[in-house]
Amino acid sequence: MCGIAGIINSRENHNGRELLNAICGAMRHRGPDGYGVHDAPGVLLGHRRLAVIDLETGDQPLYSEDRSVVLVVNGEIYNYQELRRELESKGHIFGTRSDSEVLIHLYEEQGEGFVSRLDGMFAFALFDSRKKKLFLGRDIMGKKPLYYFCCGKELVFASELGALKYHRDFPETLDCDALADYFSLLYIPQPGTVYKDVFHLPCAHIMSFDCTTGKKELRPYWRLEFSEKVTGSPEELGGELRRLFFKAVEKRLVADVPLGVFLSGGIDSNITAAAAAELSGAKGCSAYTVGFAEKCYDERFLAAQGAAFINARCGGNLRHKVQEVETLDFSLVEELVRHCGQPYADSSILPTALLSHFARQELTVALSGDGADELFGGYERYLAMAMAEKFTRIPVFLRKSALKTLSLFPEGGERTFAGRLRRFLKISCVRFDERYFAILDRCPETLRQRLFTPEFRSALSASGSERFRRHCGMLTTPCRGEIYSEMDIHSYLGGDILVKADISSMASALEVRSPFLDRQVAEFAAALPWEMKLKGRERKSLLRHAFGDMISPEVLHAPKKGFGVPVAHLLRTKWRRPAEELLFEGALPGSSFLRPDTVRTLWQEHQSGRKDNSYSLWSFLIFALFLRR
């Protein structure tokens, strides 16, 4: 796991090596174990290394035997041993034991189509000096990031958006559409960024760049298809899912450094920890949990029950380690905003960063349960959408009347029954094609009218729901209920969940692997009938059926909490003063995007306790920090 960067066709009036050193220096936290550079006329490639496999000879850049092909890669290739045996049988000579070197020889053998053979999480840059072409590629689910921009015939790329800003030609014009998406979704959907001319390479895509002409071509090499469904009993399908998942975990336990798992009170991390403990055998496996004093955000008790159950089943192979977070310092917020490089307001990045820092004291690699909710129907909103379908039988005036009545009462927070009911009534009053965006939207049209300045509003190209549908692209599922899961995989998973996992873990130089996002597991999940995932009111039904014997009954039947922090409470207490400085005294009031009077009204409502405006205020706060930087 590492950070990569490059400058192609560097301008004559630039000191390209100096710029590359600055870009890679900004990513030192991603790769503290080494720094390598390829410096040739017109081609500069840099690599910051976090040593995980082949600690002695795995430094990068890597070269082909005749040095005509050079490579830098961030990530892990899980099927590298199988590919290496195949390539060696065809006469290819390897100079390292690195998993990354297979990319070079596979490219020599198969051309740019080689990327479809890779099983792993990765972002790479491969330069062919004979063809004078650069190839950039990302893994199928988008686990590893890669940002780029072009200036004339010059191409600049890096693993972190913030690192690109060290290039003197970085395009700084903000994209109003991206900002509007941010205030609604709390993240910026890929492949866009907050900057008009800076892009995130889409997952499952490869881009070629002709160094002679400056022309670039982007093409997909894989897509998750929901169109064809398998048949079988829950026992048969559950057994196959279990086999594929154990295989995925086994592949991700290969490392030359200490490895463990994240453990919360949820079923996904418990399934992952149980499989890892079973496969680790006598050497065992460590699991890491962080908790908070606030009960509704604390999962330590459930995690401890889960660990005890796993140990009873696996003979004590799981070493459970717990840390309580007594205070949440605002400096962590500022640090993570710097790493993100653009506005990102999913507050669960904070506990994920704390968990990563805790685990990194003993580990270099951790397994997580990311991806299971999107693939197996785990989010409560999927159930809400199904219920809203039935609720539309009630006359709309009655639904709107109930919502209006509920709004008269103080808001106790989104995790309360009243908060959930309020959101449910809201989406039931929206037409079908806009309903899912409505349940996600943290900045609805009624708020935008008051919040966005006239200049900001006039710069927007379309409504939020229209842009959201474009981000989701063409959907393949034949099942109406599964539409929302597929939408999340195209938007939320890559734009929010995996960005959070990468930024929060790599800030501590920790590699995170996600067996639920294994290619075979994902393809099998997409082929499952929707009713195997959402069965009545039971979410992740087949997952529970397939792994129910591996996790404790308390975890299996506990309501989903999510991995959050008490932002609403912190904005009224510990973070109140720094928040007021940012919202009312810093760069935000002087910007041309948000109306200061509306921001102040939302703040006062929140401080009084009449309303929980924490999602909106948190997004403003992160945006203010971004503007300040």
What does the alpha-carbon distance between residue 460 and residue 174 come to, in Å, rounded to a whole number?
A: 12
Instruction: Look at residues 10, 18, 4, 5 and name the one whose alpha carbon lies nearest to residue 211.
Output: 10
Say how many domains are in the chain.
3
What does the alpha-carbon distance between residue 474 and residue 490 come to, in Å, rounded to a whole number?
A: 9
pLDDT digits (tens, 9 = 90+) for 317-333: 999 999 988 778 899 99
**C-alpha separations of 365 from 120, 192, 590 in Å:** 15, 29, 43
Query: Residue 111 CB: number of other CB atoms within 10 A?
Result: 12
Cis amide bond preceding 61, omega within 30: yes
Q: What is the pLDDT of residue 55?
A: 86
- The answer as to whether 332 is a domain residue is yes
Instruction: Look at residues 610, 507, 504 and name the one whose alpha carbon lies nearest to residue 563.
Output: 504
CATH classification of the domain holding 203? 3.60.20.10
What does the alpha-carbon distance between residue 228 and residue 202 come to, in Å, rounded to a whole number?
A: 24
- The answer as to whether 240 is a domain residue is yes
Q: What 3 state SS string does 20-47 have?
A: HHHHHHCCHHHCECEEEEEEECCEEEEE
Q: 494 and 618: one domain?
A: no
Q: What is the pLDDT of residue 399?
A: 61
The kind and range of the H/E element at 180 are helix 176-185
**Structural domain of residue 590, as residue ranges?**
566-629
Q: What is the pLDDT of residue 419?
A: 62
Q: What is the pLDDT of residue 424?
A: 67
Q: 167 and 26: one domain?
A: yes
DSSP 411: P
pLDDT < 50 regions, the chain: none
Token pair of 572, please? 């009224």
**Angle between helical axes of 614-628 and 176-185 (0-180°, round to 10):** 140
- The answer as to whether 176 is a domain residue is yes
- The answer as to whether 146 is a domain residue is yes
Residue ranges of alpha helices (H) inside 361-513 are 372-376, 380-391, 396-406, 417-428, 432-440, 445-451, 454-458, 464-472, 483-490, 492, 498-506
Q: 80 and 129: one domain?
A: yes
Q: 360 and 499: one domain?
A: yes
Q: What is the pLDDT of residue 214?
A: 93
Last residue of a domain, one of 557, 588, 614: 557
Q: What 3 state SS string does 298-343 have?
A: CCHHHHHHHHHHHHHHHCCCEEEEEEEECCCCHHHHHHHHHHHCCC
- The answer as to whether 433 is a domain residue is no
Q: 116 and 195: one domain?
A: yes
Q: 489 and 620: one domain?
A: no
- The answer as to whether 227 is a domain residue is no
Last residue of a domain, one of 512, 528, 557: 557
Contacting residues for 65 by C-beta, under 8 A, at least 6 apart: 92, 93, 95
Q: What is the pLDDT of residue 405?
A: 64
- Note whether 327 and 333 are within 8 A (CB): no
Single out the catalytic residue among 2, 340, 443, 472.
2
Query: Residue 373 CB: number of other CB atoms within 10 A?
Result: 25
- The answer as to whether 478 is a domain residue is no
What does the alpha-carbon distance between residue 368 and residue 370 come to, in Å, rounded to a whole number?
A: 6
Q: 259 and 215: one domain?
A: no
Q: What is the pLDDT of residue 282?
A: 82
3-state secondary structure of 365: strand
- Note whether 199 and 145 are within 8 A (CB): no
Q: 97 and 208: one domain?
A: yes
**Angle between helical axes of 349-360 and 330-340 (0-180°, round to 10):** 90
What does the alpha-carbon distance between residue 44 and residue 149 come to, in Å, rounded to a whole number?
A: 15
CATH classification of the domain holding 519? 3.40.50.620
Q: 24 and 133: one domain?
A: yes
Last residue of a domain, one of 507, 534, 557: 557
The kind and range of the H/E element at 157 are strand 154-158
Q: 76 and 184: one domain?
A: yes
Q: 14 and 145: one domain?
A: yes
- The answer as to whether 21 is a domain residue is yes
Q: Does 2 qualify as catalytic in the annotation? A: yes
Q: 189 and 62: one domain?
A: yes
